[in-house]
Amino acid sequence: MTDTDRTTADSPFYLYQPEGEPAALFLDSPHSATTYPTDFRPDPALPLPLLRQAEDTFVDELYAGAPARGIALLCAGFPRSYLDANRALEEIDEALLDAPWPGARQETAKTRLGKGLVWRVLDTGEAIYDRKLSVEEVQARINRCYLPYYAQLQKLADRAVASHGSAWHINCHSMPSHAAPFATEFPGLEHPDFVVGDRDGTTCDKRFTDRVEGVLKEMGYDVWRNHPYKGVEIVRVVGQPQAGCHSLQLEVNRKLYMDEVGLTHTAGFARLRHDLNLLLDELLRFTRSMPSRVA
């Protein structure tokens, strides 16, 4: 993956196709985009470095070795603060809008934090906009970014099931070393090295979760399960074990590989990428050993 791929393409997603025969395993990174659409128009007084704290910066680079292993890697082309691909379409925060939302709407813990489908505030509480958004511009973001991204996720899952009888998916994220005030329902929490989330065992075969957790612990990492991140919309949609589709959310602590303020690589980046490649190699062996449609 080149820097040009990451910063200049105008697309709702970037799909890095696997080399050779596609594996049953595929990845997605919904929050690693670093370019900002011209129609975003956040508060001009909001510093860009602060706005960029919402990104899962470099997560796409951490998993850039996946395609060479036969593993597809899907990355969103839009930043999370513009539209959060890991939210449901109904998670609309009407406090952000200049008119009532015409479709279905659901209040959740995330919308109460101001972090629904379209964020109202950053993790640290700063307002993103100095204006109200129109219903039409939110709908345009959904049509241009959200729906194509989910359609591509479904294509990858369908391809894996058609070729291998089952699909195995990791939804790749990063988390700050400490939870910010508006990030989760556990502000101030010191995060472990990794959190694996399978929505309390509902989105994938438990053996897959066990293997991911076990490999990382064998490497010496501190790993928690389903706390404080259980997995949200993407793993809920993709993870349908009864249909042979297994989906796991994996959060990695940013302190392991980057300067969280300066948004630059640290010396730990190379080691972490190496370890994640080893994890992918092990998961390829695991998925190849599993029978089709394991519930």
Say if CB 175 and CB 229 are below 8 A apart.
Answer: yes
Q: What residue spans define the domains of the chain?
A: 3-289
- Nearest CA to 170 out of 103, 70, 250 is that of 250
> Would you state the pLDDT for residue 186?
84
- Nearest CA to 243 out of 152, 149, 167 is that of 167
203 burial via Cβ count (<10 Å: 0-12, 13-18, 19+): buried
Tokens representing 294 are: 């394991």
CA distance 7 to 3: 6
Helix (H, G, I), strand (E, B) or coil at 81: coil
> Would you state the pLDDT for residue 5?
38
Amino acid code (one letter) for 113: L
Distance, C-alpha 169 to centroid of its chain: 12
> Would you state the pLDDT for residue 182?
79
> Would you state the pLDDT for residue 10?
64
Tens of pLDDT, residue by residue over 191-228, are 999 999 999 999 999 999 999 999 999 999 999 999 99
- Residue numbers in the chain where pLDDT is lower than 70: 1-10, 293-295
219 burial via Cβ count (<10 Å: 0-12, 13-18, 19+): middle
- pTM comes to 0.94
DSSP line for 55-110: S-TTHHHHTTTSGGGT-EEEEESS-TTT--TTS-TT---GGGBSS--SS-----HH
DSSP line for 256-294: GTEETTTTEE-THHHHHHHHHHHHHHHHHHHHHHSPSS-
Tokens representing 170 are: 């990791």
CATH number given to 3-289: 3.40.630.40
